[in-house]
Structure 1
Amino acid sequence: MANTVDFTVPNPGLLHRILLRSGIIYAAVTVIPFVPAFYQQDFDAGFSVKGHPYRWLDVVSQNNPWFFSSQGGKNYGGWLITLLVCLIIGGGWAFIEKQINNDRNALTQNDRDDRLYNWFFILVRYQIALRMSWFAIAKVFPVQMPFPTLSQLNTSLGDFAPGKLYWLTTGVSPFFEVFAGVFELIATVLILFRRTATLGALMMIAILLSIWFVNIGYDAGVELASLHLLFLSAALLVKDADQFYNILIRHRQAVISYIQPSELTKQWKRAGRIVLKAAFIFLFLFYRGYHYEQLYAAGKTFKLPLDDGIKSFTGFYNVTEFRLNNKVLPYAPDDTVRWQNMAFEKFNTISIGTAKPFKLRTDNKIRTTEYYGNIGRLYYGYEADTVKHILTLKNRADTTDALNLNYTAPSAGKFILKGLSPQKDSLYIVLNKVEKQYPLAIKRNANITD
């Protein structure tokens, strides 16, 4: 790959012009949030923006076109329709331009195409960097795929969906997660600069191809999102398809084109371009990276609740006695009424093991809660009044499901809970703490005693 040259479109034909204009439209409509639901969502529920202003950067980074999240992240039909509509609009744009510019010379039209390609080059590069910067930083400071919680460590393997299981197994190995994040971050930085954009696109393709197949194989929910970024990365290389063919297949020397930025005649425009680029890099990489490092250092992740639980409560407990309406229900593994065990997390979540029937939930609105992709446990956020000894439990996914329990601690590691179920049945529950070490935690060079 010898010297670089300025990229010039040599007498582009109608098909080229249509594809170029269609590409600009596609890049714009997939990064600008046109869908009303984006503005109607509860940003604090989805992103915890209150008290964490840098999370607005994640709101922008994770804005998805309508076809990303529908049909479980696999709406290929919607994606193809979007491509087709962009082609039709691009074709209309090129046709109208041709009619208007019939009397203009070809050189003027080529100059216009060069400027349009430059805009396409900018839109695609920055959209990839916008989306991948979050994934990269959330892996470099591993908060995207956290280590399994107490509840998850005590959930049967068969109660996890494949996608959730993949996330948990990746979270078990922060070294691998950081390793993947470093490569994603390097590719993101390279793609931000014109002279290294080709290398960044090649790295991004290698990264995203494996991510796409992982999402297909594990049904992890962002299948189409990864394909979209893969498609954009490949689009950056289309201009050099012949050169890559000469290098890789014919083993001949070839020259990779350099996309020259638009020539700006005014000083304030040149300064503005530098300021905007520096601001993007500072906000989305350095500023966000600093706060994610702080988040990881505090042992937290946005995939789980941020509020702390009661430290002395944290642990896994067997339900040794369970009374419903003052009737003792002995333990039975298939009893759909009796609680089997409880886990108090280090954050403000209580989970209850039970054999009741569950509906597997994989909708995006609960991806950041414990409900996503698993069954076998009821999850409640809790608040504890340590003076009146009252636990207030609220289901984070179903606000109609709540209960209040009075608690006493007659001895260390033992709780007695009394209260009413959501069905207004009286409850009397005795909990005994189980001291247990987990091989997954030991392998991670951490001792977790519940």
Structure 2
Amino acid sequence: MTRLLRAPRPVRNPETSDEEGDIPPPRWSLPTRIAFRFFLVYVVLFFLSESRIMYALVGVFGSELPVDAQTRQYHTVRPIVTWVAEHLLHVEAPLIEPVLSGDQAFFWVLALCWFLAALLVTVVWTALDRQRPHHETLFKWFFVVVRMCLAAQLFTFGFAKVFPLQMSLPLTRLVEPFGDFGMQNVLWTQVGSSQPYEILLGCAEVTAGLLLVVPRTALLGALLAAIEMTQVLVLNFTYQVPVKLFTFHLLLLSLILVAPHAMRLAAFFVSDQGVGPVARPQLFRTRRALRLALAGQLLFGGWLAASQVHEDWKRWDVVGTSGPKPPLYGIWNVVKFTSDGQDRPPLTTDVERWNRFIVDTMHPYQPGPVSSQRMDGSIVDYAATFAPAKRAIMLARVGDPAWSGRLTFARPTGDKLTLDGVLGKEKVHIELEKVDIDSFPISRDGTRWVQDMPYAPRLQPR
């Protein structure tokens, strides 16, 4: 693909040329044509079989799509993936649903299918179309499509951080032993504990998306996107975030957009030679058509960004830090736990006795707003339904459909709580005291401009 990395040569300047004075595009070398055909087919297959591409492009209409639309494309290609896995690789690659990981064996085999199909189509295409001097028209439109699809993904991930939703700090993280964290939880907690930092990360992604929408600034947007996706890919690999394969393809899209300018960029950053302006291939032949094409790109990009803002703003109103809190919101320490009339002392060997009761807002990666912490420090999550008028809570234990609970609550004072009812098959009476959230240093610390010593004593030299 090295020769494809050359700068696009002038085709015509619509401001100074008429249709009869066009300069014909130069002939592409054979390696350039082969590389372009391969990447064109590969990216098209990626777009057609990856549902996240479609969902980002439909914007606000995504909520109107049927539930199975999120996996319909995967089901369409599943027979092919299964055949390749069984007959070529001799492995099993089932589609595990619900799809919580983009790094299942299924998706790695699917990527291999894209590669093999692109390779086959490229060979046949090259054999049948040996005399074509270039693919200038496909080149122009291909880059427009890649720009818009990449911008849509950057808006999706970026605005989810601008409205700090993607990585938040659940209350359970304040009391859960750090040693119980998975690597992804470590990353999510690190970013989510500082909203300004998460917002800045989102602003960088949104900025790259906005630059990609405008043709004149698309190269700068692609460079910024490539830097960001490289960082995200490294984090995904080192913190076991299961979107490594998808992030790699976003990085690939960024590099494809940068590729035609690679030689000019190398000359600019490495050599002392000057780099002149580049005449970009034009989508149309007349100034009026070009203006309409530019307006269409700007409007579509603006619609993508506005759609994402609309959706994330709605979510922020519901689950954001300033949004409504559920009844009993907070962390409650259990001071007395009675089961079937018998007092259960706080022993670490008691796997069912509660040590804490936690009521939080909904988080994207938590199954429910209510959790309990056992005496050994482990967390149990519940799907919960509140009935404030009846002062009742209905609980369902995630992953255990046979278990259910119903509790009524009373608050003698603002920081006291009693729960009575049934948990599973046991009748319980629980007395609790509310924990001051600001007592956790991670919840109250902000930027300290003057700081004479490390805040955490254990970071001081010994």
Q: TM-score surpassing 0.5?
A: yes
How far residue 346 of structure 1 moved from its aligned partner, in angstroms, is 4.7
| CA pair 227-80 structure 1, distance change in 2 beyond 3 A | same
1:284 aligns with 2:301: no
Of 122, 127, 131, the match for 1:90: 122
For residues 352 and 38 of structure 1, do their structure 2 counterparts lie closer, same or farther at Cα, with a shift above 3 Å needed?
Answer: farther
C-alpha distance in 1 between matches for 2:65 and 2:213: 18
Decide whether the 8 Å contact of 2:103 with 2:244 is kept in 1. no
* Contact kept in structure 2, 1:191 and 1:198, CA below 8 Å: yes
Structure 1 pair 141/75, CA: closer, same or farther in 2 (3 Å)?
Answer: same
Change in Cα spacing, 1:218 to 1:257, as seen in structure 2 (3 Å) is: same
Bigger mean CA deviation after superposition, 241-250 or 316-325? 241-250
CA distance in 2, matches of 1:138, 1:57: 20
Q: Which residue of 2 aligns with 1:28?
A: 44
Tell me, in whole angstroms, the C-alpha distance in 2 between the residues paired with 1:350 and 1:300. Answer: 14
Q: Which residue of 2 aligns with 1:248?
A: 269
How far apart in 1 are the matches of 2:146 and 2:41? 11
May I ask how many residue pairs the two structures share in their alignment? 395
Q: Does 1:145 align with 2:145?
A: no
Equivalent residue number for residue 327 of structure 1: 342
Alignment of 1:354 onto 2:354: no
1:275-322 Cα offsets, whole Å, 9 max, x none, are: 5424322322134325535654x4735xx9x87411xx2221122222
The one-letter amino acid of 2:121's match is: I
Residue 418 of structure 1 aligns to a residue in which SS? strand
Quote the Cα distance in structure 2 between the aligned partners of 1:183 and 1:387: 45
Contact 1:243 1:256 in 2 (8 A): no
* 1:50-71 deviation per Cα after TM superposition (whole angstroms, max 9, x unaligned): xx957649999x9798699443
For 1:285-434, what aligned pairs fall within 5 Å after superposition? 285-289=305-309, 292-293=312-313, 295-296=315-316, 298=317, 300-301=319-320, 308-310=325-327, 313-346=328-361, 349-354=369-374, 376-395=378-397, 400-422=402-424, 424-434=425-435
Contact 1:194 1:258 in 2 (8 A): no
Show CA shifts across 1:330-380 (max 9, x none): 111242121111012255822100157xxxxxxxxxxxxxxxxxx921122
1:125 is aligned to 147
Q: Out of 79, 82, 88, which is 2:111 matched to?
A: 79
Query: How far off its partner does 1:237 sit?
Result: 2.2
Of 259, 263, 274, which residue of structure 1 is paired with 2:284? Answer: 263
Task: Decide which moves more: 256-265 or 213-222.
Answer: 256-265
Alpha-carbon spacing, 1:177–1:346, altered in 2? closer, same or farther (3 Å) = closer
Q: Tell me what 1:105 maps to.
A: none
Q: 1:180 to 1:433 in 2, by over 3 A?
A: closer
Indicate conservation of the 8 Å contact 1:38/1:63, yes or no: no
Contact 2:9–2:25 (CA under 8 A) maintained in structure 1? no
**Counterpart in 1 of 2:78?**
none
**What secondary structure sits across from 1:219 in the alignment?**
coil
1:31 aligned partner, one-letter code: F
- Indicate conservation of the 8 Å contact 2:346/2:355, yes or no: yes
- 3-state SS of the aligned residue for 2:411? strand
Query: Which residue does the alignment assign to 1:435?
Result: 436
Counterpart-to-counterpart distance in 2, 1:251 and 1:140: 39
1:421 and 1:165 map into 2 onto residues whose CA distance is 31
Q: Hey, what's the Cα distance between the residues in 2 that align with 1:118 and 1:188?
A: 19
Distance 1:56 1:129, change over 3 A: farther
User: How far did 1:136 drift?
Assistant: 1.7
In the other structure, the counterpart of 2:457 is none
Decide whether the 8 Å contact of 2:214 with 2:297 is kept in 1. Answer: no
Q: Secondary structure of 1:333's match?
A: coil
The change in CA–CA distance for 1:150 and 1:19 in structure 2 (over 3 A counts) is same
Q: Does the 8 Å CA contact 2:148/2:301 hold for their aligned counterparts? A: no
Q: Which letter does structure 1 place at the counterpart of 2:262?
A: A
- The SS at the match of 2:165 is coil
Contact 1:350 1:381 in 2 (8 A): yes
How far does residue 79 in structure 1 lie from its aligned partner after superposition?
2.9
Distance 1:93 1:398, change over 3 A: farther
Give 1:360's aligned residue: none
2:266 alignment partner AA: Y
Q: 1:346 to 1:63 in 2, by over 3 A?
A: closer
Is residue 323–residue 427 contact of structure 1 (8 Å, CA) maintained in 2? Answer: yes
| Structure 1 residue 406 displacement after superposition | 2.8
| Counterpart residue identity of residue 350, structure 1 | V
Does the 8 Å contact 2:53/2:149 carry over to 1?
no
Q: Which runs of 5+ in 1 are unaligned?
A: 103-108, 357-374, 446-450
C-alpha distance in structure 2 between counterparts of 1:440 and 1:242, whole Å: 47
Q: Write out aligned runs for 1:65-214 (5 A).
A: 69-71=101-103, 76=108, 78-98=110-130, 109-110=132-133, 113-146=135-168, 148-214=169-235
Alpha-carbon RMSD: 3.9
Same amino acid, percent of matched pairs: 22
Gaps in structure 2 of 5+ consecutive residues: 1-6, 12-23, 75-80, 82-98, 363-367, 448-462
CA apart distance, 1:80: 4.2
Distance in structure 1 (CA, Å) of the matches to 2:120 and 2:234: 30
Q: Which amino acid aligns with 2:341?
A: N
Q: Is the 8 A contact 2:102 2:242 kept in 1?
A: no
Q: TM-score, normalised by structure 1?
A: 0.75
- How has the CA–CA distance of structure 1 residues 74 and 179 changed in structure 2, closer, same or farther, with 3 Å as cutoff? farther
**Does the 8 A contact of 1:73 with 1:221 survive in 2?**
no
Pick which of 203-212 and 375-384 moved more. Answer: 375-384
